Structure 1
Amino acid sequence: MASLICQPFSAPAAESNQLTAAEKKAGWKLLFDGTTLNGWRGFKKPAPPAQGWEITNGVLTCVARGKGGDIITTNTFDNFELAWEWKMPPRSNNGVKYFITEERASAIGHEYQLIDDSTVKNPLSSTAS
């Protein structure tokens, strides 16, 4: 399962949140349709959270202090390439987790960390130090 924000890239010829003909032919699956949370649900929940996530102009956003929790895909994937676009405010800390299982109390898995630690004064405590 993929967790948190997963918004696939579109090739230049495609509209946002749509796959190109080449991507479809290659077997790519769109995880976010740009308008709904169809295909997503809350971690250890049957449906998406009622709060904490917004969709505006085709962009899925985690609301700061929105208490929406992690979201995961309803489908499970084991052999995949994951591509997405992101935008982060200064000093933010987020990520995309993958290979999540619900056997533990929290969403433990591999994580592609998205963090702005440009204000960290000690380089030994910054990301990838």
Structure 2
Amino acid sequence: MAGEPQADCLFCKIVAGDVPATLVHETATTVAFRDINPQAPTHVLVIPRAHHRDAASLAAADPQAAADVLRAAGEVAAAEGAEAYRLVFNTGAGAGQTVFHAHVHVLAGRGLEWPPG
């Protein structure tokens, strides 16, 4: 069920404190931690504490939580000293989503040309 912790979800386990992560920011509704395979000098994941499969599911089920994730991403970027940064939501395996718990990547600290790739 959306919002309920999933026993097999890595990010639900991080939220619960059952899996260690380098936390950099927490709010009542979000958790932010460093990516274990960083793609930029600053690479932080911001997740909702509640389980939602992907960004679209999160936005449909809980628009306020989706806004909280975006607000937290901006706060993380500011705390990291990033004047320019990219926010990336991968939705679906074909787009590179590997953990099916909504999350946004906060990337900064190197050139982030467009288009990405």
Normalised by the size of structure 2, how large is the TM-score? 0.33
Please tell me whether Structure 1 or Structure 2 has the larger radius of gyration of its CA atoms.
1
